[in-house]
Amino acid sequence: MSHAGGFCSKNNPESKKPYETPALSELQRLVWNRGGSDNHVDQVWPNLYLGDAWAARRKTILQSLGITHILNAADGPYNINTGARYYRDQPIQYYGVQAFDDTSFDISIFFNEAADVIHKALNTGGGKMFVHCAMGLSRSATLVLAYLMIYENLTLVEALKTVDSHRGICPNTGFLSQLRVLDIKLNSERKAAPDL
């Protein structure tokens, strides 16, 4: 299965061997082999952008990219407090998640909700979603990875490689561990589902 714009290709030479979720240490190694850019904002999937607070506050950049939806993964008074009012003069739908970039923070409670928001935005005519946190490396990257796993049926390894090829990301160890739990769950569901 390949996607437009060279974003993902499932031509895995090991596809005969069933996929198993790697150990956390192996996932960390994948993250440390950073490949993508460190721009303020990068397109990591068709019409899905990942970036930092600097880009989130630059309305001219958001306009030039045609952003229609924003998911702030660092919402709230102690984080990137933009909120819907900040964009009220823009044709942008805003969604905020109050996540903290801390290994003990449970970001998995937002996986399905954030994935739904991203999915709906991308399926709106001309929809372009910008997901950000402070640096665009951990919280926002984690929610984008969860979306790719839940809605685009990528494994965690495929999602990491896909996003990292466009933007260097670095989810903290706690977030990687929570993504690993999601990967194991989705993988077992895929194995249980009859091939269509």
Residues catalogued as catalytic: 133
CA distance 37 to 34: 9
Place of tokens 């999937």: 45
CB of 143 closer than 8 Å to CB of 103: no
Output the DSSP codes for 98-138: B----TTS-GGGGHHHHHHHHHHHHTSTT--EEEE-SSSSS
In 10 A of CB 18, how many CB atoms? 9
Helix, strand or coil for residue 190?
helix
How distant, in Å, are the alpha carbons of 68, 81, 116 from that of 122? 9, 24, 10
CA distance 130 to 62: 8
User: Strand ranges (DSSP E) for the chain?
Assistant: 41-45, 48-51, 69-72, 93-96, 129-132
